Structure 1
Amino acid sequence: MSRCLYAQEEALFLNPELLGGKAANLAWLSREGLPVPRWWVVTTDIFTRLLRENGLSEMVVRELAGIGPDTDPAAIEPIASRIQTEVLRAKLSGDLLQAIGELVKGREEQFFAVRSSVLGEDAQGASFAGQMDSYLFQRGRADIGASLLRVAASAFNARALQYRIAKGIALDDIRAAVIIQEMIEGEVSGVMFTAHPLTGSRRHALISAAWGVGEGIVAGICNTDEFSVGLFDNTIDKQLADKDQAVVFDREAGRGTKEIHLDGEQRHIACLSDAHILKLRDIGLKIATLQHFPQDIEWAIRQDQVYILQTRPVTRLPEPKEPVGRRIVFDNSNIQESYCGVTTPLTFSFANRAYATVYEQTMRVLGVSEKRIAEHRDMLDNMLGLVHGRVYYNINNWYRGLLLLPAFKTNKADMERMMGLTDPVDLVQDREFSFGEKLLRLPQVLRALFNLLRGFRQMGQRVTEFRALFENAYRSIDRDHLHTRTPGELIDEARRLDRDLLQRWTSPIINDFYVMMMNGKVHRTLVDAGFTEPAVLQNNLLSGEEGIESTEPTKMLLRMCAYIRTNPALRALVESGDNHTLLARVQVQDADFYAQCLDYIERYGDRTIGELKLESVTLRQDTAFLFAVLKNYLTRNDLTPETLAAKEAQFRDSAEEEAFTAIRNKLGSRALANFKKNLDKLRDAIRNRENMRLARTRVFGLYRDLFLEIGSQFAFSGLLDDKRDVFYLSVDELYAMQDGRAVQLSLKALVAGRKAEFAEYQKADLPHHFWTHGMVYYQNSYRYPFEVEEEATGNELKGTGCYPGVVEEKIRLIFSPDDELSLNGQILCTVRTDPGWAPLFPTAGGILVERGSTLSHSAVVARELGIPAIVGIPGITQKLQDGEKVRMDGAKGTIVRLDSQEL
C-alpha cells in the first residue's frame, strides 16, 4: 500500500505530527486495546504535498498573512472562502487515489466516516471541537476522495481560523491529517465527560445520549438524556429529555445522514439502561486513568457493543459546586482593625512570623511540651491567612489552640465575643472525651490551667517587666543613624529585635486571655441578671477608665491646642498653613511649640491609621496628619482635657448603679461582690492591653524604619526602583538575601508582578467571613456563606451599640489620611479603625464602623472619650453616601437614614 495511507497498526509507529491530534489519540486508544472501530489515516505530509502540487501553498500563506488578532471576524469569512474554494478544486494525487481504491477493495458495501485530524486538534489546551467538518456514511473511492478534500478544506473555514486566533494559535502552520474509519451505525450515541462539566466534580462523569448517530448531539440538533454517574460508586442521576429528533443514516440517498422525527414511547424513555451507563462509565474511567487526565469521549452503541469513536482531554471545568477538601473558616472581624484593606507582602509575612513566634512562646509558658509544640507547628505557622491581599484569622487554628486549655466551650464563646465573630462557626465542637482520653489530657490541662492562673495573678508584675524589656530593646536601636548601616547590618538588627522582643512577647498574650475570660464572666453575670442588652450596659461599665495610653495621644494634642490658643500668631499660622510644610514653618516661628511637636512625634509618631501595616506612612515620614488633627480640634473650643474627662465619666456611674442594683436584687450580695471583682479585673486587663498595644505599635515602627532603610539602599544601588518597593518583598526573602538562600535576585521583576497583582486586589473588597475548601487559592470564591436576599424596605441599619447617645448629623466617610478629615461634629463613618484613628474621634459627633466588636479598639476609645459609637454594621460604607444625614442611637445600635426612605 502506498505510503499515502496508513492502517491503524502502522499508525501506532508514526510521529504524532504526521497523525494530527485526533488520529494520535485514536492510535493511543488502539494500542491500549479499547473498542475502537478500525481506521486508517492520510498523514499531514500528504496534506502539505496536496497544497504544493496544486500550487496553493503560496496563496494560502498570502491570504492568511492578512489575518491578525485584531482582524474583524467579518473580514475573515471571505479570506476563508477563497482558500476553501481553491482547496476543493485541487486534484488528489494518483497514488493517494490508488491507496483509497485499495482500501475499499472488497469493502464496496462498507460505509466509512471521514474526519479531520488537524495538528494540535484534541489537545489539552485546544479541542477544536466542531470546528472542522466530518462526513458520515461514505463509501467507494469517489465519495471518500471527495470527502477527504472537503475535510482538508474545512481546516481553513472561518470558524476554525477564528478559533485559532482566540486560542492564540499561529496561522502559519496549518496541517491536517484525515481519518477514514469504519462507520458504526449507532442505535444510541453520545458524549461522555469523565469529569462533570456542570458541577466541576472530578468524581462524577456526565453522559449525554440520544437515539441515532452522534452527529445529532455534536451539531446540537437532538435533545439528549443526561446521566450523572459516580466514578467510584454506582449512583446515577437521570435527566430525561423529550427526544423528538434523531440523526440516522439516509438510506434513500445511500450516503450521509438525515434528521427524522420520533414518535411514541421512544421519545420519553431513557435511551441508556443502567447497565450501559455503568459500562460506559467503566470504559471512560479506564481511559482517564491511563491518560491521568479527565477525558471528553465520543461513543456509540450498536447491538449491545460499545464503541469508542474518539477521546480528547477536557479543556475546561467550572469551579466545583460541591467543594472537596477540608474546610477552613477565615474571619477578619477583629484583625481588620490592625491590617485594614489590602496589605503588602512584607507586612503579612512579618505579622505571620510574629504570631507564630509569640504563640509558640505562649505554649511554653502554659507548660505545653516540646513534642506537642512540634505537633502543632502547622497551626502556629498558619494563625493568619492572606486572601486577595487581605489579612484574616484562620479560625480553625485558633480553636485548635483553645483545645489545649480546659473548658473549651466557655473559652470558645468568650473568644468569639472578644474577636467580634458574629457568624456561626461549628467546625470545632466541645465534644465529650472518653475516660481514657480525659486521663491522657489531664496533665496538660492542669499544667495549662495552673500556669495561666499564675500568669493572671502576676499580671501587674509581668506588665511592668514587659514594659521595661520593651524600653531597653527600643532604645537600643539608633534610628537617627540607620543610614550609616549596611543592609546586612540592618537585617542583623531586625533579627536582634526578633530575639529580644518578639520571642519574649508572652505577657500581652497572657493578658489577652485574661481580657477574654474576664469579659466572658462579666457578660454572663449581666445575662443572668436579666439584662436584654448586656453588651450595651457592659460597654458603659467599661467607660471612663483612667491611665489608658490609647487616649494619651489625644490628650496630648488637646494640650498642644491649648498652647496654640494662647498664641494668636501661631494659631493663624497653623490654621492657614499647608499641612505638609507646617512643621518647618513652626520651627522658625515658635521654638517651644516645635519642641512639643517633636516630642509628640517621638512618643506617638508611629501611631497612625494602619499603624501595624509596615507600608503605612507615619508622622515620622509625613507630619501632615498631625496638623490636620490640630486644625480639627481648634474648631471646637469645648474640646479640652477636662471636658473629655467629664464625658468619660458621664455614663459610668449610672451604669454601675443600674447593674449593681439588678445583680444584688436577682443574684444576691455574694454574686454582686464577685461581679465587682471581675469588673475591676476586666478594667485592669483592658488598660494593660491598650498600654501594651502602644509598645507593639512602636516596635512595628522600628521594623518599618529598618526595612525602609534597606529599601532606600536597594533603590540607591539599583536593585529596586523605589525604596517603598521593599514592601512587596517578604521578610524571609530579605533574610534569605542575607543568608545566601534567595531563590530570585531579579527584584524589580518580582516587585513589578506583585504590585500589579495587589493593585487588582484593591478593586474589590472581600466579605469579613468566608469558608474555603481544599487548597485555599484554588477554586474558592470567598463568598459570605450566610448571604441572604436583602429586603429593599425600611430605612434603618443595625449594628452593635458600643456607647450610648443619640446623634442626628451628616456622616463623613473617611477611609485614609488622604481623605478630607474635617469633622466638626459630623458622624465619622468608616470600614474599620485602629489606634491611629483615635485623634480624629474627639471632633466626631458619633462613630460608625462597618467592622469590629465591643472590645475592638474603636469601641474602647469611643467609650473612653464618651462618643456615641456603633460597630459591626454590615455594608454601611456602601449603603450610605458622604454627607447623608442620619440619626444614630449608640445604645440600641441603630442608624436611621433621614435623607432616604429606603436602603
Structure 2
Amino acid sequence: MNQICRLSLCEQDLYGSKAYVLGRLFGDFNVPKGCALSTEFYSAFMKENGFTYSFDDYNGKNEEIQEFITASNFSKIQIKDILKTLTSCGLNKENQTYVVRSSATCEDLQKNSMAGILESFINLQNIDEVLTSIKECYKSLFSERALSYYEMNDYDLSKIKMSVIIQEYIEGQFSGVIFTTDTKNYDTNSTYINYVQGKCSDFVDSNTQSYFIKMDKSTMKITDTNQPKEGECHLPDEITKQLLLTAVEIEKKLGYPADIEWTYDGKDIYILQARPITTMKFERFTYEATEDDKKYRWFLAEQYPIYPLLEDFYRMSFTHRKEGIYRTGYGSQNAVIKQLNGYMYIGTGGMQNERELREAAIARLKLLADRNLGIFQDELLPKILIMKTQMDNFMEKELTDYEVADFLSTALNYSNFIDSAHWESVLGEEYIEEFHHYLEKLDIDINTEQLYNLIYCKTIKNKEREMLLNISDFFKEHIECTRILHSSDYPLIVYERLKYSENWIELEKLIGEYIKLYGMQNAGPKNNPANNLREKPYYIIDKIKSSMQQDGNLYYSTISMIQMKKEEEKSRILQLIPENKKSEFLEKLCLAEKTFASIDNHHYYCEDSSWGYLKMAISFAGSRLVELATLSNADDIYYLKFDEIFKSLQNEITSVDISGRKEKYMKQEKMIPPQPLFTVHDTEEKEPSTAPSTGTEVQMVAEDSKIILKGLSSLNRTVKGKILIGHCIPKQIEEECILVVRNGHGNDLFPVVGKVTGLIVSGGSPFDHMGIITREMNIPAIYYVSNAFEVLKTGDTVILNGEEGTISVI
C-alpha cells in the first residue's frame, strides 16, 4: 500500500479529514502544494521502532510513550519515500520552507474538531526539521490534553491514528479564519472574516490583535466590523470581497458551513485548512401556545435535544416533583415540561391554594414533631436505605436478565421517591427555627452560633471529609505519590499514573473504600450527573487535591471544639430550665439534632446520589441488551424508552429501529428552537407568597462613604478582603477573596476552600450544606443578603463583620 501521496489523492480513512478536505479543494482553490503521510506510515514507524505499549498504557505512560517517539528514527526507506514525494510535488528545492500539520483520524469531524489540541509546525527550514516535526505531531496524539479529550468524547483509542501533511510554507501579510455562516444567530447569509496582520498561527493562538468583518453574502456589503478604516492593519476592500467569494465557493464545494483558515501573501489568497462548523444549526421551528401554556413562563432547558430515554425520565421526574410541591405548597417551585422536536422547555408558574397547602404540610410535620419524629430521618431515610441497599447488592454481582430489570426498576423508584419527597424534607428543616423559638419561650438567651453548637452532630458528609483527609495523609506520607498527584492538571492522567507507583495496591484499597461509600455521587466538571466515581474513579483526584489543601488538624480541632461547646451549652440550658421541662427539652433537642443531620443526609442521598444509581442501572441494562443482540452499542440504550428496555429484558421485544431514531436525533440537533417559546405578561394579581419568613430583614443604608449590607451571620468572626462575584462557587480561585454566591445548593467549596476567607450568600441558610462546611472550616459567612448582587462588584474591598452580621463596602 502506498503510504505517501499528494494532497489531491488523499483518502479520508487513510489520511484523516484535514488532508482529505485539502485534497478536495486542491486544483479548484489556491492550496499550498504538498503531500501527506498516511496512518499506515505512522503504524509502520511505530512498529519498526518496537512500539509495544497497549491502549491501557496510553494514559498512565503517555510521557514514556512521547519519549519513545522522540528517540525513534525513520527508516532509510521512509526518508527516501518522503524526499521522493516532496520532489515530485516541487518541494525539495534549495531554500524551501515547509509546514507540517497533523491530520489525525479523530480531528476535523462533523461533531468534534479537536481544534488546537494536536500539533502543527510552520516555517521549517530543512528536511531534518520536517522529520522532527512529524515526530512531534505523532507525540501530540499522546499529550495530556489530547488523551483527556478522547476520554471526554468516548473515543475508541484503537481507532486513533495520525496522518501528517507536509506543505510549502506561505508567509502571510494578512491571515485569519473565515466562518461561512453566523454561528451565533444561525444566519447562513452572513459570513465572518477574522484576521490579523501576519501569519495565521498568530490568529488561532490569539497572539496578536485581531479584527473581524461581518458581510452579507447576497449584497457583499459589510454589516459590522471592528477593523481600522485605514492604515497597515486595514484589510484591503478587494481582498475582503475576494475572501468572501472564495468562502462561498468552498462552502458550496464541501456542502456544509465551513471554518476556513487562510493567508494572503500580498499577491494571492491561500487556503490552509477547512473543516465543518460543528455547532451550526439550520432549521427553525415555531410553536403556537395554548391557553393552558400561557399560565406559565417558559424557558429552554438545554441548547441541544434530549435523548428519548432522558425525555422519559424527565417526564416522570417532573410528575413526582409536582406531587411533592403540591403536598408542601412550594408554589415558587411549581413547573411543567414540554418537549418539542427533542428540545425540552420548562414552564414555571404559581399554584392555587398555596397558603392552604403549605399550612396543611406544616400541620402534618407538627404531628410528627409532637411524637419527636423528623420527616427525613425517621420517615423518608429508612425507605431510602432499603432501596439503596438493594441497589448496592445488585452492583456487587453478576445479574440475570430479571435482576437487571429489577435493578433498573428499583433505581427508577428511588429517583421518583426522592423527587416526590424532596420538598417535604426541605420544609422539615425549618424545625431548627421552631426549636430556636421554643428556647426563646423558655427565656433562654441563645444566638445563632450557640444554637449551631447545641444541635451539632456529625453526619455522613463528615465521614466523607474524614475519609478524604485520610487519603490525603497517605499522599503526604508518600512523596512519590504526591509528585504524581501534582504532575498533571488532568484527573484521568494522574489516576492512571498512580497505578504504576509502588504504593498503588495500598492506595487503591483506600480509594476503593471511599468509592464503595461515596462512589454514586455526581462527579467531574460541575459535578456532572452523567459522571460518578463508580464508573469514572479518576474524578476522585480533584477531591484529593482539594483535601490536600485543607488543614486536617484545624478540621478535627474545630469539630472537637464544637462538640465541647455543645455539651457546655446543653449543660447551661439544663441548669436554667425548671426540672419539669428538662425531659421535654432533651426530646426536642434530639429532634433538632436529627433535623441538623438531615440537611447533610438529604444532600448526600438525594441531591448527590439519586441519578448516579439510575445511571448505573441504565449502564447495566445497556450492556445486557448488547449481549442479547437487541443493541449493537450499550450507549444506544438512550434511544429507547423505559418500557422498551423492560420488554427487551423480558424478551418481549427483540429489535428496535435504533438507526431511525439516531437519524431523527441528528436532524433535531440541527434545528433552532425558539427562545423564548412565547412571551406572556402578567395581568392578574397574584396571591401573596406564603414562603416562611427568615426572621431577618435585609437592609441597605449609606453611612460615611460606606455601604452597609445586613444579613444573618453564623460565626462571630470579622474579616477584610476583596469581593469575588461567583453566582456559584468557581472551580479555581487565584487569590484570597470574600466570595459572593446566590445559595449553597449544590455548591462545593472544597476545591477553593484555601482561597475563600469569607462568604456572602444572597439566599441559603447557616444550616444548609455549605453553611455546615463554612462553620467547620472556621469561615465566616453572612446569609440572606438579598441586595448583594446589586450592590457588590468584583474587586470591592469590604469588611465582613460576623458579630454584627454586616458587610461594609469601603
Report the TM-score, using the length of structure 2 for normalisation: 0.47
Instruction: Determine which structure has more spread, i.e. the larger CA radius of gyration.
Output: 1
Report the TM-score, using the length of structure 1 for normalisation: 0.43
